[in-house]
Amino acid sequence: MNHAKTFMLLAAMTALFAGVGYLVGGVGGMAVAFGVAVLMNGFAYWNADKMVLAHYRAQPADENHPNPVVKNYVRDTIELAQRANMPVPKIYIIDQAQPNAFATGRDPNNAAVAATVGLLQMLDRDEIRGVMAHELAHVKNRDTLTMTVTATIAGAIGMLANFAMFFGGRDENGQPTNPIAGLALMIIAPLAASLVQMAISRSREYEADRIGAEIAGDPTALARALEKIELYAQGRLNIDAERNPATAHMFIINPLAGKGADNLFSTHPSTRNRIAKLLDLVRGGGVRPRSAGGTSVPVTDAGPWR
């Protein structure tokens, strides 16, 4: 269902681009805007993982890490990737107090997952497994590609709106359009594209929750993790995320301060709704929870994080 919803939203964004492009600059103007957007987002697609990991100062982690919590995090992520029948991604840790995690990379063979110190300190082992299974689901679903496509089209629509601002729109006969209509186009078109882009992001979160629960075999662990992360994330400012809000959609919970509400302008669905859907999986018998057995090493005894 979520795949169909994503397809329909992408079709709507494409139709919006085609309509706006034709009104602003005809077929030629539409082609120029789309070409520039493809080049810009193509660069981001091939380099975004390196840029994001560098921005958050992520450090690689492996099974030889001195901290037992990090060691378990690495081992469990490897095991979950094998269960999902996918390549093991590069694994990172971020020295950030806000509990959160994200996945990046252009495809499953060139992917990376990262968890913050705050997340590893706060969650038990089963909950961390649930979070990482969610991130692996994003990689398996190639959500990075989906969001790159939406960003390309949204960027092209934004460029067309700028063309309208500087050069004015054109009708089907090549004549200038009403300037008021051009102003409305400049404002409404990028806003509509952003709304569709955010809707696609929210749809992909639900799908990653579902598949992540199947990979980990425990919807309740991910539900508990989401509840804890949202509760604590709202009280811990993530300066790096605030400086680059365009990366907010990558995280399992919105890292931006005061952005917990579920609305049209949110990149994430409400945590309450996500938890409800995960618990529905258990009630419906779709995924049976694993027996509880996750443990946490007390922070004071956990050893160094670097």
- Residues classed as catalytic: 135
> Which residues, 6+ apart, have CB-to-CB distance to 264 below 8 Å?
195, 198, 199
First to last CA, the chain: 42
Query: Of 262, 266, 263, 261, which Cα lies nearest the Cα of 249?
Result: 266
For CA atoms 21, 28, 161, 10, the dihedral sign is positive
Strands 90-94 and 111-116, by their bridges, are: parallel
